[in-house]
Amino acid sequence: MDLGIRVLGPVELRGAGPGERLGSAKERLVLAALALDAGRPVSLDTLIHRLWDDAPPAKPRASVHAYAARIRRRLRAAHDGELLLQQAHTYTLALHPRHVDCHRFAELADRARVLTDGGGDAEALGLLREAEELWRGEPLAGLPGLWAERVRAGLEEKHLAAHLTRFGIELRRGHFAELVPEVGALLEQYPSDETLACQLMTAAYGCGRQSDALRVYDTVRRRLREQLGTDPGDALTRLHRLVLNGAPLHELLPPPEPAVAAPRTLPSHPELVGREHELAAILSAAPAQAAPGAVITLQAVSGMAGVGKSLLAVHAARHLGGRYPDGQIHLDLRAHSPGQEPLAPEAALRALLRVLGVPARAIPDTLDELVSLWRTLLSTRRAVIVLDDAAGPEQLRPLLPGASPSLVIITSRRRITGLPGVRPVLLDVLPPDDAAALFRRLAGHERTGRAHEVADIVRLSGYLPLAIELAAGRLASRPAWTTANLLHRLTHGHGRLAEIRDGSREMVRAFEVSYMTLTTEERAVFRRLGLQLGPDFETFTTAALTGLPARRAERVLESLLDAHLIQEPKPERYVFHDLLGEYARTLSLSEDPADERDGALRGLIDFYVQASDAADRLVYPRRARPDLPRPARGRATPAWPGPDAARHWLTAERPGLIAAERHCRTEGATQDAALLAGALANFLDEEGYSAEAQRMHESAARHWRAVHRPDAEARALLDLGSALSRCGRYDEAFTAVRRARQVADRLRDSAVQAEALHLLGLLHWNLGRLPKALALQNEALALRLPTEDAWQIARCRNNLGITLLYLGDFRLAEDHFHAALAGFRTAGDELMRARVLNNCADLKTAVGDQESARKLLTAALEIFTELSSPSARAITQVNLANTMDSPAELNRMLDLYRDSLATFRRLGDRRNASITLHGIGLALHAADQFLEAAAQHRHALDLARSIGAAHEEAQALHGIGAAEQHLGQYAAAAAHFAEAIATAERTGSEPEAARARASLDALRAQNSAREGSGAQQR
């Protein structure tokens, strides 16, 4: 479309030709009032207010209608079609906002801002220059009235913001001389804008004109004092100091911080056909400056399924990506998912938080905490979130972001009421022309030339998008058919498609038509897929359900995909549409005998048991396993080329595997459930799914005890103890691991005994009980040594080294670390070797050899980065920061600490988060920032106490006391030193106790000297 409306200057209407000049100022004002809200209805009362403020003429509505009629004539002359729509008391300019120059300017400026935040200065600069070319002078030039003045001021503010962004890019690119006159002229318009002043000073300084830069500062300072009675802000003052001191230019130009990758989880989707007005309604409700908490509800008339709610919502969200740069997120709330309950608010929030990068272990348990974290994360983000297939307001209310610039788009079969800010978009069936266009696109233009036959087909399909898609797929799957053949089937069969208009039965009839086009084999596979336990399926799970060879199952899946009976949101992973899955399950229940259905599920469970065991052995080859009975029937499992592929399969199949274990557990197949729990133990532990793992391992331990398999029971108890330990439930973890040890003692199973001792040692170490931890780890080593298992022995020696380090026995700790390095090198485990290097660095730091510590940490960090181990990488960064000097390297230290702290919080690792906060406190203390240091130590203390980490508690208490001493809070400092001594002595950490005693002695000496000095003065 060549039509355009220009308001960034005199108001103009640009068509394909020269066109007719606009008439009076009021006519131009009406066009501007409509253009600013292009695509959205504007009420007559609003137009009257914009035209005449609060003093309208005698017949204002008649005047508005007259102006609108003139504008409509001009629009018709410039464009074929009706663009000015009149409805009850409203006018709508049916024009996409991009055809109005102010909206186009805002879009370009927003895209440029996103690009420059991510380091794309060159492309951003091009967009900003393109945006600048849209300006022809004062916005709404010559138009009177308060509304025009307000709009003019708002547009000029946006123009200034774009200038500032562009000037910043130009300065970073070294374009100093050419900027001086432009920035100087703008500063004359905005004489008190300190950002402009900073940019002008930088440009002048970059040209070597230091005196001019200083003169700008003096001028702005004088203006601020005379006009506002204030002094320049921190940024301008800092810049003046740098210029005055002749600082290097780069200090005046800090580079922009790189942007964090925004989540993009919208599912793949076909192109949208039609829906222009509905899409415009959604887009018009999402302005460039999104209102906090904006909510759009999409719903179908009469709860009609298959009308295209999800497609429209996802298409709109993708279209809005430029306006919402912080993410495009999709979540299926499963109100109508087959065989599944609607997603509870707690589960939905957990899924949303995972999308934003929060790991399972960092996600809180209660609904209130989940809501709080979700709203906190979205409080400053501008993301568009699609909540798909909602059950109702009770499910949705906790998911709304509250005071956030994000936009939420909701789809539901029910009318959503009772939520503030809801804007319903009632989605009806397609208009006849759009329905025919959709059919032609799906079936192919070369086969749909007979327009009257196509019109009859889409009419019989009820103009319903899913029914049309199924009908077109049927034609496409029959190369010999014509549209006449398909039309004959629709009108002379059982009248199935004619019933599509009849409420809830309509989709069943549409599905039946598609189902009858399948071969006998394809129908059987379709029915069996309705029995699948997880949310999606792939070739091997399909083969397991149906008994087909994997290659044949893959070909049938491709046929079903071509018929649009299944979808492929991710490569080689398939899902049902919610009602299609329900239909497939209903068919299986009605057509397949019960023993065949049971056999299909038995095949799926057998496959999951065998495949999970094979993946576990490939990913965790060193893990000891009991010899347990496996399913007798062999099932084809994926031929993974290596551990990474097996881990990827576990990740993809995790929901199905967990659902299978739950199905077995609740249906009485407890042995299969126990086998699945054992095979998934390490994977779930590493991925942080501790809640699911606890239930699985508790059931597994009960089963193995009931069938008198103590070896398997002991392993299940160890897995349970590890899962409980992961979430800080140490008392319960102790109970499980001690029971495992008792079982192992009875069996004289040295491997399980050693593992139980290892876990008990870690639990005591986490609680700061170092002597007890040391004794247990020595016992574990004594059991490992006769096995000559280099990896397990190295693992024991590493743990001993850490404990000895905390106990202050540096020489023996170093011996154990060196032995561990040699063992892991022999075993070929680079990840564990890097962890030992990190621990060696801790030792070097403790003895004052900072240079060696840095070298070791740098080497470890390279390995962790290469192997993508976020937790280990964060720990190493903390240790690297600990080797640096404050205040000389304070900023670098704080960057490392804070990056690591964010990782620990995502992982739910409160112990390491406490250690990191303590490190931040020490760094701030060394920089004489005692108040801030005390605050960080208090946060560290709270975390340490929340998990019973006594060693970290003693360190935090010592840090608080040291900060209070420098703040003159001597009594409080003495109390904290004394508490630190008691805590360290209780845990057996003599070095920490000695440090705290030394600090307390120094404080008492200082108090005595101060009191003596006071007596002499008296």
Per-residue pLDDT tens for 594-626?
Answer: 999 999 999 999 999 999 999 999 888 888 888
Summarize the confidence of residues 467-491 as an average pLDDT.
Answer: 79
Residue 88 domain-assigned (yes or no): yes
Range with the poorest average pLDDT among 557-571, 662-676, 819-833? 557-571
Mean pLDDT of the chain: 83
Residue 437 domain-assigned (yes or no): yes
Same domain membership, residue 13 and residue 131:
yes
Burial of 365 (0-12, 13-18, 19+ CB in 10 A): exposed
pLDDT at 615: 92
pLDDT at 577: 65
Same domain membership, residue 144 and residue 48:
yes
pLDDT at 479 over 70: yes
Same domain membership, residue 216 and residue 167:
no
Residues 6+ apart with CB under 8 A from 337: 389, 535, 578, 581
Residue 231 domain-assigned (yes or no): yes
Question: What is the torsional sign of CA 913, 914, 919, 923?
Answer: positive
Residue 445 domain-assigned (yes or no): yes
Query: In which band, very low, low, confident or very high, does the pLDDT at 39 lie, cut at 50, 70 and 90?
Result: confident
Summarize the confidence of residues 166-189 as an average pLDDT.
Answer: 89
Residues 6+ apart with CB under 8 A from 496: 509, 510, 512, 513
Dist. CA 965–CA 1004, nearest whole Å: 11
Same domain membership, residue 94 and residue 74:
yes
Q: Are 60 and 52 in contact (CB under 8 A)?
A: yes
Range with the poorest average pLDDT among 225-239, 253-267, 353-367, 676-690? 253-267
pLDDT at 261: 63
Query: In which band, very low, low, confident or very high, does the pLDDT at 868 lie, cut at 50, 70 and 90?
Result: low
Same domain membership, residue 411 and residue 320:
yes
pLDDT at 975 over 90: yes
pLDDT at 293 over 50: no
pLDDT at 703: 95
Query: In which band, very low, low, confident or very high, does the pLDDT at 297 lie, cut at 50, 70 and 90?
Result: very low
pLDDT at 633: 57
Per-residue pLDDT tens for 56-74?
Answer: 888 888 888 888 888 888 8
Summarize the confidence of residues 40-57 as an average pLDDT.
Answer: 86
pLDDT at 136 over 80: yes
Range with the poorest average pLDDT among 509-518, 579-588, 610-619, 646-655? 509-518
Dist. CA 249–CA 578, nearest whole Å: 60
- Per DSSP, the three-state class of 6 is strand
The enclosing domain of 62 has a CATH number of: 1.10.10.10
Give me the amino acid identity at 573. Answer: R
Residue 336 domain-assigned (yes or no): yes
Summarize the confidence of residues 763-784 as an average pLDDT.
Answer: 89
pLDDT at 384: 87
Per-residue pLDDT tens for 505-535?
Answer: 344 654 675 677 788 999 999 999 999 999 9
Residue 950 domain-assigned (yes or no): no
Helix (H) or strand (E) segment spanning residue 575: strand 573-575
Instruction: State the SS3 of 812-881.
Output: HHHHHHHHHHHHHHHHCCHHHHHHHHHHHHHHHHHCCCHHHHHHHHHHHHHHHHHCCCHHHHHHHHHHHH
Summarize the confidence of residues 6-30 as an average pLDDT.
Answer: 76
Same domain membership, residue 245 and residue 351:
no
Summarize the confidence of residues 626-651 as an average pLDDT.
Answer: 79
Summarize the confidence of residues 817-841 as an average pLDDT.
Answer: 90
pLDDT at 303 over 60: no
pLDDT at 393: 80
Q: Which comes out higher in pLDDT, residue 676 or 389?
A: 676
Per-residue pLDDT tens for 415-429?
Answer: 676 776 667 777 777
pLDDT at 163 over 80: yes
Q: Are 413 and 390 in contact (CB under 8 A)?
A: no
- Tokens read off for 827: 């075993």
Same domain membership, residue 464 and residue 401:
no
- Tokens read off for 431: 């208009």
Same domain membership, residue 382 and residue 495:
no
Summarize the confidence of residues 260-269 as an average pLDDT.
Answer: 77
pLDDT at 294: 46
Same domain membership, residue 110 and residue 42:
yes
Give me the amino acid identity at 135. Answer: W
Q: Which comes out higher in pLDDT, residue 261 or 25?
A: 25
Question: What is the strand order of the sheet 422-427 is part of?
Answer: 328-332, 384-390, 407-412, 294-300, 422-427
- Percent of the chain exceeding pLDDT 90 equals 29
Summarize the confidence of residues 275-280 as an average pLDDT.
Answer: 79
Last residue of a domain, one of 117, 138, 173: 173
- Per DSSP, the three-state class of 43 is strand
Same domain membership, residue 443 and residue 422:
no
pLDDT at 893 over 90: yes
**Strand 328-332 relative to strand 384-390, pairing:** parallel
Range with the poorest average pLDDT among 464-478, 602-616, 922-936, 969-983? 464-478
Q: Which comes out higher in pLDDT, residue 1017 or 873?
A: 873
Dist. CA 180–CA 165, nearest whole Å: 15
pLDDT at 926: 94
pLDDT at 300: 30
Summarize the confidence of residues 677-693 as an average pLDDT.
Answer: 80
The enclosing domain of 548 has a CATH number of: 1.10.10
**CA angle, 957 then 963 then 965, to 5°:** 100
pLDDT at 613: 92
Same domain membership, residue 637 and residue 592:
yes
Say if residue 18 is preceded by a cis peptide, omega within 30 of 0.
no
Same domain membership, residue 422 and residue 370:
yes
**Strand 90-93 relative to strand 407-412, pairing:** unpaired
Residue 382 domain-assigned (yes or no): yes
453-483 burial, b at 16+ Cβ within 10 Å, e below that, comes to: bbbbbbebbbbbbbbbbbbbbbbbeeeebeb
pLDDT at 799 over 70: yes
Q: Which comes out higher in pLDDT, residue 809 or 498?
A: 809
Residue the block writes with tokens 């210029």? 243
Residue 696 domain-assigned (yes or no): no
- Tokens read off for 264: 């993009």
Per-residue pLDDT tens for 902-961?
Answer: 988 876 677 788 999 999 999 999 999 999 999 999 999 998 888 777 788 999 999 999
Q: In terms of Cα–Cα distance, which of 127, 138, 139 is closest to 165? A: 127
Can you give the C-alpha Rg of the chain in angstroms? 35
Range with the poorest average pLDDT among 317-321, 394-398, 908-912? 908-912
Determine phi and psi for 273, rounding to 5 degrees.
-110, 125
- Tokens read off for 507: 């989709």
pLDDT at 302: 25
Last residue of a domain, one of 398, 427, 456: 427
Query: In which band, very low, low, confident or very high, does the pLDDT at 120 lie, cut at 50, 70 and 90?
Result: low
- Tokens read off for 970: 């001597």
Dist. CA 870–CA 263, nearest whole Å: 18
Q: In terms of Cα–Cα distance, which of 1003, 1012, 995 is closest to 974? A: 1003
Q: Which domain holds residue 403?
A: 276-284+295-427
pLDDT at 291: 46
Per-residue pLDDT tens for 323-377?
Answer: 888 889 999 888 756 556 788 999 899 888 888 876 566 677 788 778 877 877 7
3-state percent helix, strand, coil for the chain, nearest multiple of 5 = 65, 5, 25
| Residue 638, CA atoms < 13 Å, CB-side half-sphere | 27
Helix (H) or strand (E) segment spanning residue 296: strand 294-300
pLDDT at 301 over 60: no
Dist. CA 465–CA 308, nearest whole Å: 6
Dist. CA 871–CA 874, nearest whole Å: 5
For the chain, how many structural domains are there in total?
5
The enclosing domain of 412 has a CATH number of: 3.40.50.300
